């Protein structure tokens, strides 16, 4: 039997190149502060108007600390896209793993994604802008998300929890569903309970993907 797979089992590349990975706890905190500040800076101003000095001021770190980890505005932006992908995965992953079966896992995944988006609305602007700043990061963000969904679906099929013929089209369909429900009920509207949105979408998915 296939094991339950989770987001957390798939490793993303680290936010910066190996040479620049911080080796101390203090370094890790500085890098974290820079990435969090970059999310606010690019989320508010966009890539073109955002600046390295805006990031270091928000982070409360010296310019030299920035250049310890990143060579350019492009580089911190690319790292930020990978970091946001990883944050979603780390936030959603444990809830997906704790679910009783694959269909419950997809519901938990959507619900916790909506919650994450409400707390990090800038994620949409940043991921969407990556299409124009760095097409490769944009594509990798979505392809990585789809690979995780696809792996979960296939493991669920092996356990008899979803139909046996699940494939990549289902995974892209589910991701698209989640992205636009996140835009509508995460970024644009905070009032509809996330549980309600996840329950409605999941009921459709549950019937749509039930084993024959």
Tokens representing residue 6 in the block: 């989770």
The smaller minimum CB distance to its own copies, of residues 28 and 184, is found at: 184
Q: What backbone phi and psi angles, to 5 degrees, belong to 12?
A: -90, 160
The smaller minimum CB distance to its own copies, of residues 31 and 166, is found at: 166
Please report how close the Cβ of residue 200 comes to its own copies at its closest, in angstroms: 4
Please report how close the Cβ of residue 76 comes to its own copies at its closest, in angstroms: 19
Rounded to the nearest 5 percent, the helix, strand and coil shares of the chain are 75, 0, 25
The site for its own copies (CB under 8 A) is made up of 46, 48, 125, 128-129, 131-132, 139, 142, 146, 167, 169-170, 172-181, 183-185, 188, 196-197, 200-201, 203-210
Tokens representing residue 206 in the block: 């549950």
Cα(83)–Cα(29) distance, rounded to whole angstroms?
14
Q: Which residue has the tokens 């707390």?
A: 119
Please report how close the Cβ of residue 139 comes to its own copies at its closest, in angstroms: 8
Please report how close the Cβ of residue 164 comes to its own copies at its closest, in angstroms: 13
The smaller minimum CB distance to its own copies, of residues 100 and 210, is found at: 210
Q: How many CB atoms lie within 10 A of CB 68?
A: 15
Please report how close the Cβ of residue 98 comes to its own copies at its closest, in angstroms: 24
The smaller minimum CB distance to its own copies, of residues 101 and 131, is found at: 131
The smaller minimum CB distance to its own copies, of residues 79 and 171, is found at: 171
Q: How many CB atoms lie within 10 A of CB 29?
A: 12
Cα(6)–Cα(93) distance, rounded to whole angstroms?
6
Distances (CA, A) of 30 to 22, 42, 55, 59, 136: 9, 18, 12, 8, 26
């Amino acid at each position: 039997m296939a094991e339950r797979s989770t987001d957390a089992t798939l490793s993303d590349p680290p936010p910066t190149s190996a040479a620049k990975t911080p080796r101390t706890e203090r370094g890790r905190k500085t890098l974290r502060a820079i990435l969090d500040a970059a999310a606010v800076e690019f989320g508010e101003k966009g890539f073109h108007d955002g600046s390295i000095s805006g990031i270091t001021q928000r982070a409360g770190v010296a310019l030299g600390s920035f250049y310890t980890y990143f060579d350019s505005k492009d580089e911190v932006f690319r790292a930020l896209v990978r970091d946001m992908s990883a944050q979603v995965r780390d936030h959603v992953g444990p809830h997906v793993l704790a679910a009783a079966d694959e269909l419950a896992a997809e519901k938990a995944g959507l619900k916790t994604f909506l919650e994450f988006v409400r707390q990090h609305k800038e994620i949409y602007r940043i991921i969407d802008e990556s299409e124009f700043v760095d097409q490769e990061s944009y594509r990798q963000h979505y392809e990585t998300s789809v690979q995780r969904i696809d792996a979960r679906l296939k493991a669920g099929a092996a356990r008899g929890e979803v139909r046996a013929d699940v494939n990549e089209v289902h995974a892209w369909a589910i991701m698209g569903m989640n992205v636009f429900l996140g835009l509508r009920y995460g970024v644009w509207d905070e009032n509809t309970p996330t549980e309600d949105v996840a329950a409605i979408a999941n009921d459709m998915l549950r019937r749509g993907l039930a084993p024959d």
